[in-house]
């Protein structure tokens, strides 16, 4: 049965898009058909990680929401581009990053129902095993919709007080939406934090499992800027954490 997975964080800059791209790549490497949809219409970003630019995007998610195309026409297969050596496939449905498109979307809005239709159609027509939704930070309506439609919600947070507060809100809201499975991923944890200690503390406070703790490292920041980290450094400890998170999604 296909799974819809929302990857969310209350604030921006937590590494949400990077995490999404890495987990998607790992799932595809495990022979799954994976779609990644960028619903962060206001500030799209994940296409950069996949190396896409204006020249190789014709239709985007925006065009589907405006009724200009079918959703699968906005899906771009990345399998070969990433040299994934598996029978899995990876599709990216980017959000338009043309400033005019973004402004129009913010001004006119769009039909939420169409977005949920889009998810369904995508899963069906591309025969996906997983649809990963890279959400907009905060809890606006399309994010709530994504969470409501998800089988699995991964909330990414950094260990600081602003994120703790915001994550509390997301966790509470997701509970009310009865999201079947919800896990936390701590990103950019300072190296002095003992992983186990932090994990227990966060799990107790939110009463929600922590899928992993990714330490902050300058090295990682430098390496992560170009492309998908887990594909470039399959033996890196951080890649192993991504793999564990992906395994929890497979269930």
Q: Does 43 bind other proteins (CB under 8 A)?
A: no
Give the x-and-dash track for 191-220 against other proteins (CB under 8 A).
-xxx--xx--xx--x---------------
Interface residue with other proteins, options 42, 66, 81, 164 (CB under 8 A): 164
Pick the closer one to other proteins by CB: 165 or 225.
165
Across-strand partners of 76? 92
Element (H, E) at 143: helix 141-149
Binding span for other proteins by CB under 8 A among 39-47, 92-100, 167-175, 228-236: 167-175
If binding means CB under 8 A, how many residues of this protein chain bind other proteins?
28
Q: How far apart are CA 6 and CA 51, in angstroms?
A: 22
Q: Tell me how far apart the terminal alpha carbons of the chain are, to the nearest angstrom.
A: 12
Determine phi and psi for 236, rounding to 5 degrees: -65, 140
d(CA 222, CA 224): 6
Residue written as token pair 């950019």: 188
Structure tokens at 65: 């929401």
Task: Calculate the alpha carbon distances from 22 to 122, 159, 191 in Å.
Answer: 20, 21, 21
Rg (the chain; Cα; Å): 17
110 forms part of the interface with other proteins (CB under 8 A): no
In the complex, least distance from residue 199 CB atom to other proteins, rounded to whole angstroms: 12
Task: Output 180 or 251, the one with its CB closest to other proteins.
Answer: 180
Site string for other proteins, 114-153 (x = CB under 8 A): -------------------------x-x--xx--xx----
Q: Closest separation between CB of residue 138 and other proteins, Å?
A: 10
Of 111, 172, 219, 244, which lies in the binding site for other proteins, with binding defined by CB under 8 A?
172
Query: Whose structure tokens read 């997301």?
Result: 170
Q: How far is the CB of 193 from other proteins (least distance, A)?
A: 5
Asked if 111 touches other proteins (CB under 8 A), the answer is no
What CA–CA distance (Å, rounded) separates 159 from 96? 31
Tell me the HSE value of 188 on the side-chain side, using a 13 A CA sphere: 16
Q: Where do we find the tokens 């790549």?
A: 25
Please give the residue ranges that form the binding site for other proteins (CB under 8 A).
Answer: 1, 139, 141, 144-145, 148-149, 159, 161, 164-165, 168-169, 172-173, 176-178, 180, 190, 192-194, 197-198, 201-202, 205
């Amino acid at each position: 049965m296909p799974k819809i997975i929302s990857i969310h964080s209350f604030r921006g800059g937590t590494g949400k898009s990077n995490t999404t791209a890495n987990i998607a790549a790992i799932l595809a490497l495990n022979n799954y058909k994976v779609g990644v949809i960028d619903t962060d219409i206001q500030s799209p970003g994940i296409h950069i990680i996949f190396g896409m630019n204006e020249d190789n995007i014709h239709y985007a998610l925006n065009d589907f929401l405006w009724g200009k195309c079918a959703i699968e026409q906005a899906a771009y297969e990345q399998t070969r581009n990433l040299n994934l050596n598996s029978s899995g496939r990876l599709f990216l449905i980017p959000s338009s990053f043309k400033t005019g498109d973004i402004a129009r979307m913010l001004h006119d809005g769009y039909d939420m129902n169409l977005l949920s239709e889009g998810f369904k159609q995508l899963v069906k027509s591309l025969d996906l095993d997983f649809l990963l939704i890279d959400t907009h930070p905060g809890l606006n309506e399309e994010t709530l919709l994504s969470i409501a439609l998800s089988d699995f919600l991964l909330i990414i947070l950094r260990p600081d007080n602003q994120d703790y507060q915001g994550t509390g809100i997301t966790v509470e809201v997701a509970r009310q939406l009865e999201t079947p499975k919800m896990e936390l991923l701590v990103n950019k944890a300072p190296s002095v934090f003992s992983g186990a200690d932090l994990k227990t503390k966060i799990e107790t406070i939110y009463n929600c499992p922590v899928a992993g703790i990714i330490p902050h490292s300058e090295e990682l920041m430098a390496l992560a800027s170009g492309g998908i980290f887990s594909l470039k450094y399959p033996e890196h400890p951080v890649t192993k954490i991504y793999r564990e998170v992906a395994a929890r999604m497979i269930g």
